[in-house]
């Protein structure tokens, strides 16, 4: 067959750099956006932050890309500021009063677990070699304070990286030294060892001794809650077992979480992306932009680029390269500023649709007032694609008058009662949780029994659906809920 050339005309769709920026930013929450902005400012000299200054644009009028419609928040802000004082993407944000209503609380120490253990190691009478080994072991602890690596692997690493030859048995001696430090249970290799380390520091009462015997000899039976088998094998009464279990459940299974560094602290602080307020029967909301700075194109970059354009006929090759570099940076800065603006607009319109659909809930914060709502419902109201709504709802939080909710909390499937009325699956989950909370702990309700209870209440639901909702609520099966 002979080869030949031919022309083909076809259309393809490609994402522009701006669209790619918007997609990436929409997925991020407010804390991640703040970090992303800091990173972009550091990498792009043409981009800078500025408080109360309008973004520079040497070539185009930025107001052309702004939405023509004004929200109530923009009108209120307009009474105090002009558009030249506030960048476009911050007009859809919160007013100063709203931003001050949110306060972050942290129950974690700023000192990291590693730092805390290093300080205690310095107080032990260890020689220089053991000190280095102890520091290396501490560096291998996970966020919960467990040593998940085996001692042979640590021995090999010390030999190759630190040129320290040490046997697993010698490592174990140093490990015991670390396990005597605070918090109790630190540097354990599994949950069983962690709990036993903590019990060893308790006064030697009968419940404590029984608890040690249970964890040492019958840990598998205890984890599976085979209490009858434990009582039979240990020849103890139900009261003895109850006292021993009380000692065990009072222990901390994750001792490393009692301390946390900046990363742990930041992860355990929830910064809401939206703030919804209800007052006198009126629901209002705004974006939480308190930590997101305003952005603008660097004025010096713009002026230098303008000067290069005016003298481009007499430019050298190096000057042309410099102009090309500056133009790329300025374009990148404009794209990023527009992407942040579009992100704010997308979040604003999405939350506006969610508030409209779940208005009764935000008014009362009664979970039974939640209406069935899926991504498609919000997409139809906003005009966005379902994938965009999915990105917006990912890892975002909403602060109300009484609580902080994940944005996904407001999405739920529709179910029907015997009368044919559509209700939210969230309402069924609440009733399911109430039934389990009020059950007899010595005889927990099975999934079949829970299904019959819900059916009597008028909810058409199958047993497998009850099991699915129970798992979503992170409630174990009836056998594992049993207490004595």
Hey, where are the domains in the chain? Answer: 16-50+69-104+271-409, 113-258, 412-484
State the average pLDDT for the chain.
80
Structure tokens at 387: 């994938």
Task: Examine the pLDDT at 297 and tell me if it is beyond 60.
Answer: yes
Measured distance CA(354)–CA(377) in Å, rounded:
9
Only one residue has tokens 């979040």, namely: 347
pLDDT-based confidence at 334, cuts 50/70/90? Answer: confident
In 3-state terms, what secondary structure has residue 52? coil
Report the C-alpha gap between 272 and 2 in whole angstroms. Answer: 65
What would the two tokens of residue 237 be? 């009464």
Helix axes 30-43, 317-357, angle to 10 degrees: 170
Q: What is the rounded CA–CA span in Å between residue 248 and residue 395? A: 35
Write the pLDDT tens digit of every residue in 81-115. Answer: 333 333 443 333 334 333 333 333 334 445 688 88
Instruction: Give me the phi and psi of 405, to 5 degrees please.
Output: -120, 145
Q: Which residues contact 25 (CB under 8 A, 6 or more apart)?
A: 33, 36, 339, 340, 343
H or E element in which residue 146 lies: none
**Residue environment code for 272-284, b if the CB has 16+ CB neighbours within 10 A, otherwise e:** bbbbbebeeeebe
Q: Cα 55 from chain centroid?
A: 31
pLDDT of residue 111: 67
54, two tokens: 């309008």
- State how beta strands 274-279 and 397-399 pair: parallel
pLDDT digits (tens, 9 = 90+) for 223-274: 888 889 999 999 999 999 999 999 999 999 999 886 654 444 444 577 899 9
Per the confidence metrics, is the pTM higher than 0.75? no
Q: How far apart are CA 174 and CA 138, in angstroms?
A: 11
Q: What is the pLDDT of residue 151?
A: 93
What's the rounded Cα separation, in Å, for the pair 331 and 351? 30
- Contact yes or no for 158/164 (Cβ under 8 A): yes
Q: How confident is the model at residue 414 (pLDDT cuts 50, 70, 90)?
A: confident
Q: Alpha carbon of 35 to those of 29, 297, 423: distances in Å? A: 10, 19, 40
Domain 412-484: homologous superfamily in CATH:
Homeodomain-like (1.10.10.60)
Instruction: Give the pLDDT of residue 68.
Output: 36
Q: Which residues contact 67 (CB under 8 A, 6 or more apart)?
A: 345
Instruction: Give the Cβ contact number of residue 223 at 10 Å.
Output: 12
Helices (H) and strands (E) in the chain, counts: 24, 8
């Amino acid at each position: 067959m002979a080869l030949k050339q031919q022309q083909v005309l076809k259309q393809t769709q490609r994402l522009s750099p701006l669209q790619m920026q918007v997609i990436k930013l929409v997925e991020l929450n407010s804390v991640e956006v703040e970090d992303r902005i800091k990173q972009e400012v550091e990498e792009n000299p043409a981009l800078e932050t500025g408080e109360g200054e309008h973004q520079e644009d040497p070539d185009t009028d930025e107001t052309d890309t702004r939405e023509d419609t004004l929200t109530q928040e923009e009108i209120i802000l307009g009474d105090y500021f002009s558009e030249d004082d506030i960048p476009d993407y911050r007009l859809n944000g919160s007013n100063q009063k709203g931003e001050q209503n949110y306060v972050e609380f942290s129950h974690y120490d700023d000192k990291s677990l590693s730092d805390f253990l290093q300080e205690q190691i310095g107080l032990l009478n260890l020689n220089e070699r053991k000190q280095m080994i102890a520091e290396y072991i501490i560096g291998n602890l996970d966020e919960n304070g467990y040593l998940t690596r085996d001692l042979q692997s640590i021995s090999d690493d010390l030999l190759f990286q630190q040129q320290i030859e040490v046997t697993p048995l010698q490592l174990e001696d140093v490990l015991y030294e670390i396990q005597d430090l605070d918090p109790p249970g630190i540097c354990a290799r599994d949950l069983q060892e962690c709990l036993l380390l903590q019990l060893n520091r308790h006064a030697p009462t009968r419940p404590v001794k029984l608890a040690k015997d249970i964890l040492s000899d019958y840990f598998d039976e205890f984890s599976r809650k085979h209490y009858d088998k434990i009582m039979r094998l240990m020849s103890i009464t139900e009261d003895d077992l109850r006292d021993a279990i009380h000692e065990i459940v009072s222990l901390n299974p994750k001792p490393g979480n009692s301390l946390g560094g900046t990363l742990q602290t930041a992860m355990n602080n929830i910064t809401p992306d939206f703030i919804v307020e209800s007052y006198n029967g009126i629901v209002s909301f705004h974006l939480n932009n308190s930590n997101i700075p305003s952005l603008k194109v660097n004025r010096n970059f713009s002026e230098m680029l303008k000067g290069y354009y005016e003298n481009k006929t007499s430019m050298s090759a190096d000057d042309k390269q410099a102009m090309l570099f500056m133009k790329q940076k300025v374009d990148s800065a404009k794209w990023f500023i527009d992407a942040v603006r579009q992100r704010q607009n997308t979040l604003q319109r999405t939350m506006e649709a969610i508030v409209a659909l779940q208005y009764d809930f935000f008014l009362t914060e009664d979970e039974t007032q939640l209406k069935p709502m899926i991504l498609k419902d919000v997409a139809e109201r906003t005009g966005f694609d379902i994938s965009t709504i999915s990105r917006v709802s990912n890892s975002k939080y909403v602060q109300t008058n009484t609580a902080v909710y994940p944005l996904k909390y407001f999405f739920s499937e529709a179910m029907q009662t015997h009368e044919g009325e559509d209700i939210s699956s969230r309402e069924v989950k609440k009733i399911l949780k109430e039934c389990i909370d009020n059950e007899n702990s010595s005889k927990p309700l099975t999934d079949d029994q829970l299904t019959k209870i819900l059916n009597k209440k008028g909810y058409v639901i199958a047993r497998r659906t009850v099991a699915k909702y129970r798992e979503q609520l992170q409630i174990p099966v009836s056998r594992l809920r049993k207490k004595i």
